[in-house]
């Protein structure tokens, strides 16, 4: 398992070691001891999974304390453009983002620590996305920013007119109006 730092402190790309043969493949998607060796000591309490059609945008979301969540995300089927935005006030990368394609073919994962907004857009029909989280979901703690805010300049790779969004995601504020509850 290889852990690679990104331009945002704490956001990591994780590349598992994949063993393939005529039968298919095998890899460890998570190993607490390897995470501890990498200096990350977290406890996951919940696994979530979604099935989405091409062009579905989910995000940009987070949860405020005391229910703030770190997320380990990956794709089981299909592909997504995965995005993390640093929303930690005082961070040297506050308001900046990283975007990484995650797919069933590349097996990459992203660690998104608490204090970062997270979202993704599906690039294929019937994409199955899964994530482990470090805290339980709490509706009252939800925060977010509209996915297509020009100030964030995220390259989602889709035409905005083709985006499939929930009503909740359509009503999120832009980043300038967002009052971040996170501190670096």
**Catalytic residue positions, numbered:** 61, 131
DSSP conformation class of 148: T
CB of 108 closer than 8 Å to CB of 11: no
Roughly how many angstroms between the first and final C-alpha of the chain, as a whole number?
Answer: 27
Which residues are CB-contacts of 5 (< 8 A; sequence separation ≥ 6)?
A: 11, 12
66 preceded by a cis bond (ω within 30 of 0): yes
| Cα(144)–Cα(28) distance, integer angstroms | 31
CB of 96 closer than 8 Å to CB of 151: no
| Cα(127)–Cα(136) distance, integer angstroms | 24
């Amino acid at each position: 398992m290889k852990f690679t730092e990104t331009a945002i402190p704490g956001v990591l790309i994780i590349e598992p070691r994949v063993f393939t043969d005529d039968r298919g493949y095998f890899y460890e998607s998570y190993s607490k001891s390897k995470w501890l060796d990498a200096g990350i000591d977290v406890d996951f309490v919940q696994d979530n999974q979604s099935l989405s059609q091409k062009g579905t945008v989910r995000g940009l979301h987070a949860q405020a304390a005391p229910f703030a969540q770190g997320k380990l995300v990956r794709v089981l089927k299909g592909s997504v453009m995965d995005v993390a935005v640093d929303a930690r006030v005082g961070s040297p990368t506050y308001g900046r983002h990283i975007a990484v394609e995650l797919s069933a073919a590349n097996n990459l994962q992203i660690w998104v620590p608490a204090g970062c907004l997270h979202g993704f857009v599906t690039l294929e029909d019937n994409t199955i996305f899964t994530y482990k989280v470090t805290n339980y979901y709490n509706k009252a703690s939800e925060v977010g920013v509209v996915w297509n805010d020009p100030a964030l300049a995220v390259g989602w790779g889709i035409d905005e007119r083709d985006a499939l969004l929930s009503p909740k995601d359509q009503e999120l504020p832009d980043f300038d109006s967002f009052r971040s509850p996170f501190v670096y």
